[in-house]
Amino acid sequence: MGRNILAVIAGVILAGIVTYAVQGIGHQVYPPPANLDIKNLEAMKAYVATLPMGALLFVLLAYVLGSFAGGWLAAKIARTSQIHVPLTVGGVQLFFGIINLLMIPHPLWFAIAAVIVFLPAAFLGGKLGVKPA
């Protein structure tokens, strides 16, 4: 059980790193205003309301790749070949995604897509990372 807990922790950390990296690439393609204060919730709400679809698609891509990578790593580390370990990583990512959606309003299509992508991506990553029985 300890190894599975470690697998989830490592998966969540990798998912966060990958998500952050892909969003960083998105910020290179769609740079935020230089004076944007990311700690100011009202400024972030106003900024997100003006994002083009391409910028939002980068965020979705970050969610997918982060959850996929985290699920893959969790399955590689886990002692068992049960899919619940990578799905737990996807669940943690989903939890943080929902918190983000509640704090900062997003377009409806994005909110629906964001809620949908985490678990399937972690599942697929887990399936690729699972050890053969």
pLDDT digits (tens, 9 = 90+) for 92-123: 999 999 999 999 999 999 999 999 999 999 99
- pLDDT band at 33; cut points 50, 70, 90: confident
The CA distance from 128 to 106, in Å, is 32
Q: What is the DSSP string of 44-77?
A: HHHHHHT--HHHHHHHHHHHHHHHHHHHHHHHHH
Q: What is the DSSP string of 29-49?
A: HSPPPTT--TT-HHHHHHHHH
